[in-house]
Amino acid sequence: MTTVSERISQSAFDGSRLRVVLLLDLYDGAQKQFLEVYEHLRSQVSSVPGHISEELCQSIENPSQWLITSEWESASPFLAWVNSEEHVKTVQPLHGCVRDTRSLRFSVLQEMGKAFRSLPESAGGRLQAAPRLGDGVVRHALTFTVRPGSEDIVAKLLAGYSSPQARVDENTRLRRTSLFMHGNRVVRAVEVEGDLLAALRHVAQQPEVQALEEAINPYLEQDRDLTDPDSARVFFTRAALPVVHHVGAGGHEPAGIRRHALFYPAKKGCGTALARLLAGQDEAAADDPTNPIAGSTVFQRDDIVVRMLDMSGPLDARPALALGIEGGHKAAVLARLLDEAKDGVLATDEDISRCLARSSMRMITDRRAPEEP
């Protein structure tokens, strides 16, 4: 009999097999084009490390609706692929024949019947060990860079916009938006109750948000045209900074909790290892009653790693814990994974404190939606 963890948690690093479900709605008359594009896409995906199998299905009720399911050894190789520049280029031809898509990702918890026995013998991964306890909140982030020298202007624009209406529909509500900067990099983290995609579309349609996006366009390092659906889609695909690990206590947030964010620039190819290191500490420390961290969220895309903390007391009260390297040889491992490790093995408390200060992101705004009656 499986047991449910007492803490709120999600993780891409538990080693369990992943099933990805992609729902597609095609334009009328686009089926032939879609099948040609899909055949090329399928041949590309089949060679990606960690990919096990894939199925293409068509609705028996609405022939314009299609379903692609794929099996992966774990979440890590899938996320590395789906967030890569290669993936952005590979799926580009789909945009001309697909009206709408929705991607869902699930760890495999149980299997029964004969279907799963058809998996190749070489297939890796395992079943998820136990159900995780959720809190009904979906977390996501976007990141982009602005032109050097424009940081203060952009910070003022981001801090001064009017918040959109929190209620999206009867099932979806914006809960919290936190904006941080580190140098010329911006990170916008959102928390949503309900459907994340519906919430993001709702926000994008609000006049105050559209005005903000237009105002910061001249300062972006990567050009975009949000009036062009293809340009907007590519920009937000590249800007996506997904959650790879979250852990926190259930129930109401204790009083006196403050939000912080840390930016970790990983060496080329080391982003996943760095995110896994940080997630491991936060998972291990979650049950420590002296732990001042009430919640930790690790975001990662390629070699960009951001860790957001909700904690009591000052960030530097326990610098090694806040940095994610308390105990064992984690300081030396972090130094090897960072692209700009200026303190070698982070051997002293002073080294760790300096690294923590350099990693700390500047909070621009942290807005919670008002409680509903």
Whether 5 is in a domain gets the answer: no
Round to whole Å and give the CA distance between 305 and 242. Answer: 10
CATH number of domain containing 177: 3.30.70.1090
**pLDDT for the residue numbered 69:** 96
Residue 108: both structure tokens together: 């495999």
Whether 170 is in a domain gets the answer: yes
**Positive or negative CA dihedral for 40, 41, 44, 45?**
negative
Q: Which residues of the chain have pLDDT under 70?
A: 1-6, 113-125, 251-252, 340-345, 373
Contact 316, 349 (CB under 8 A): no
Whether 282 is in a domain gets the answer: yes
Instruction: For residue 63, give its domain range.
Output: 17-108
Q: Residue 346 region, left (φ>0) first, then alpha (ψ -120 to 50), else beta?
A: left
Whether 267 is in a domain gets the answer: yes
Q: What total of structural domains would you count in the chain?
A: 3
Shared-domain flag, residues 100 and 142: no
Whether 8 is in a domain gets the answer: no
* N residues, the chain: 373
Q: Enumerate the β-bridge partners of residue 58.
A: 66
Closest CA to 96 of 153, 150, 24: 24
Last residue of a domain, one of 184, 217, 242: 242
**pLDDT for the residue numbered 1:** 41
**pLDDT for the residue numbered 341:** 58
**pLDDT for the residue numbered 3:** 45
Q: Enumerate the β-bridge partners of residue 370.
A: none
**pLDDT for the residue numbered 4:** 44
Based on C-alpha coordinates, what's the Rg of the chain?
21
Shared-domain flag, residues 103 and 54: yes
Dihedral, CA atoms, 176, 298, 322, 249, nearest 10 degrees?
Answer: 60
**Positive or negative CA dihedral for 74, 76, 77, 79?**
positive
Last residue of a domain, one of 55, 87, 108: 108
The residues near 266 (Cβ < 8 Å, ≥ 6 apart) are 273, 274, 303, 304, 305, 337, 338, 339
**pLDDT for the residue numbered 43:** 87
**pLDDT for the residue numbered 200:** 86
Q: How far is CA 275 from the centre of its chain?
A: 11
Shared-domain flag, residues 219 and 272: no
List, edge to edge, every strand of the sheet that includes 65-72.
51-58, 65-72, 18-26, 98-107
Q: How far is CA 197 from the centre of its chain?
A: 13
Residue 133: both structure tokens together: 């306890």
Round to whole Å and give the CA distance between 144 and 39. Answer: 32
